[in-house]
Amino acid sequence: MTQAGSDRADVVIVGGGAVGSSAAYFLGTDAGFSGRVVVVERDPTYARASTPLSVGGIRQQFSIRENVEIGLFARDFIGRAGELLAVDGEQPDLGFVEGGYLFLATPEGRAVLAENHAVQTGAGADIAWLEPAALAARFPWLNTDGLAAGTLGERGEGWVDPNTLLQAFKRKARALGAEYRTDEVVAIEHDGGRVHAVRLASGDRIACGTVVVAAGAGSGAVARLAGVALPVGPRIRTVYQIDCRESLRPRLPLTIDPTGVYVRPRVPAISAGCRRPRTRTRRPGRSRSTGAGSKRSCGRRWRTASRPSRRSS
Ligand SMILES: Cc1cc2nc3c(=O)[nH]c(=O)nc-3n(C[C@H](O)[C@H](O)[C@H](O)COP(=O)(O)OP(=O)(O)OC[C@H]3O[C@@H](n4cnc5c(N)ncnc54)[C@H](O)[C@@H]3O)c2cc1C
């Protein structure tokens, strides 16, 4: 039988994905913090973690000002990520494509789109308002039937390679002193609203005063170990990769149809995704999309994208 190990850290971060590794990075860069940080990650291949499976989109188009401000912070950070996340002079290349997000609205969604646009530009985001004629002029491949307006991020929106971002945060966090352990947090010792230690599947125990829950879709389950009800849990998301022989010109932004279906280039293919159709109608303005969550097919808006023709890069 293995003797359980005992250790001590100032901060234990549960989960070493994008959120946990960026938390470790920001603690490492905080001049007012000099404690020991241990990141516990149960699967360093990240096979089922959200980060490498995500679409890597960076945007400022949200309906709530705080989210827009977070998006603006991300825009500035991504713009300087090479320099900020460099280790030994080696700068990561996140492959940031500043392709913009294009949100589309039907006549029913137009008012919500306008409301969101006012919040975004009020917070300083560079988002253009496009009437249908402007949409057609800018994106000749777009079927504008039934569209009432669109909003397009002119600067700072696009997509990165999410796994490169995660690995860059992790490498930099380590260089700044964070320690990564391959193990699973299975219990959190706590009383009187304070945590004292985490217990690991290996049998080890790490005493600590602070636990950061960054367990992705498993965060609700981890928070429960500390007696905290956190309404975070797994939800099904689906992404399709569709081969295209022809690239759209001008380039396809990360486009979100009024149904909530989104599509972005992934040369020479496109990636398209959607949420699981809901049975209840979501309150307008609280969803990612700006239309009612109908089950309308996504085929017609981008039908030109998959028409066979000559291959271009
Ligand atoms: C299909 C899809 C598309 C997306 N597109 C975008 C997008 O375009 N833009 C965007 O900003 N976001 C997008 N997201 C959301 C984004 O991926 C997540 O918000 C982000 O990756 C969450 O990072 P995380 O570190 O919290 O979670 P994860 O990357 O899931 O990492 C959590 C880690 O915690 C570990 N863990 C869990 N429990 C324990 C435990 N008890 N002990 C130890 N380790 C544990 C897991 O192994 C995992 O590695 C998308 C998500 C999906 C699924």
| Domain boundary, last residue among 205, 225, 245 | 225
Question: Separation of 297 CA from ligand 1 center, angstroms?
Answer: 28
* Three-class SS state of 24: helix
What is the residue type of 190? Answer: H
What confidence tier does 292 reach under pLDDT thresholds 50, 70, 90? very low
| 151 and 182 part of one domain | no
- pLDDT value, residue 274: 78
Rounded Cα distance between 93 and 81, Å, is: 8
Residue 311, in any domain of the structure: no
Residue 313, in any domain of the structure: no
Q: Exposure pattern of 108-143 as b/e (b: 16+ CB <10 Å)?
A: ebbebbeebbebbbebebbbbebebeebeeebebbe
pTM of the model: 0.88
- pLDDT value, residue 291: 35
Angle between helices 110-122 and 65-79 (to 10 degrees): 60
pLDDT tens readout for residues 293-303: 333 333 455 54
Angle between helices 162-175 and 18-29 (to 10 degrees): 40
Q: Is the pLDDT of residue 232 over 50?
A: yes
The DSSP secondary structure of 250-274, one letter per residue, reads SPP-EEE-TTS-EEEEETTEEEEEE
What is the residue type of 142? Answer: L
- pLDDT value, residue 306: 34
Instruction: Look at the chain and report how many structural domains it folds into.
Output: 2
pLDDT tens readout for residues 62-94: 999 999 999 999 999 999 999 999 999 999 999
- Tokens 């990165």 locate to 160
- pLDDT value, residue 309: 30
CATH number at residue 41: 3.50.50.60
Rounded Cα distance between 60 and 98, Å, is: 12
| 242 and 205 part of one domain | no
Among residues 18, 31, 25, the alpha carbon closest in space to that of 58 is found at 18
Mean pLDDT along residues 256-275: 85
- Tokens 């188009």 locate to 61
Alpha carbon nearest to ligand 1 atom 1, residue: 54
Question: Separation of 7 CA from ligand 1 center, angstroms?
Answer: 27
Residue span of the structural domain in which 250 resides: 101-155+236-306
Rounded Cα distance between 30 and 263, Å, is: 37
Distances 167 to 48, 164, 174 between C-alpha atoms, Å? 15, 5, 10
Beta bridge partners of 237: 275
| 215 and 251 part of one domain | no
* Three-class SS state of 306: helix
Q: Which residues line ligand 1 (CB under 6 A)?
A: 14-20, 40-43, 46, 49-51, 53-57, 184-185, 214-218, 222, 237, 239, 273
Ligand 1 atom nearest to 201, measured from its CA: 42
CATH number at residue 151: 3.30.9.10
> Which residues fall within 8 angstroms of residue 185, CB to CB, at 6 or more apart?
12, 14, 40, 42, 198, 199, 200, 215, 222, 225
Residue 241 burial (C-beta neighbours within 10 Å; 0-12, 13-18, 19+): exposed
Ligand 1 atom nearest to 22, measured from its CA: 25
User: Higher pLDDT residue, 121 or 287?
Assistant: 121
Query: Can you count the helices (H) and strands (E) in the chain?
Result: 8, 17
Residue 84, in any domain of the structure: no
| Domain boundary, last residue among 225, 255, 273 | 225
| 151 and 193 part of one domain | no
Q: What is the chain's mean pLDDT, rounded?
A: 88
> Which of 40, 54, 182 for mutating ligand 1's site (highest number of atoms within 8 Å of CB)?
54
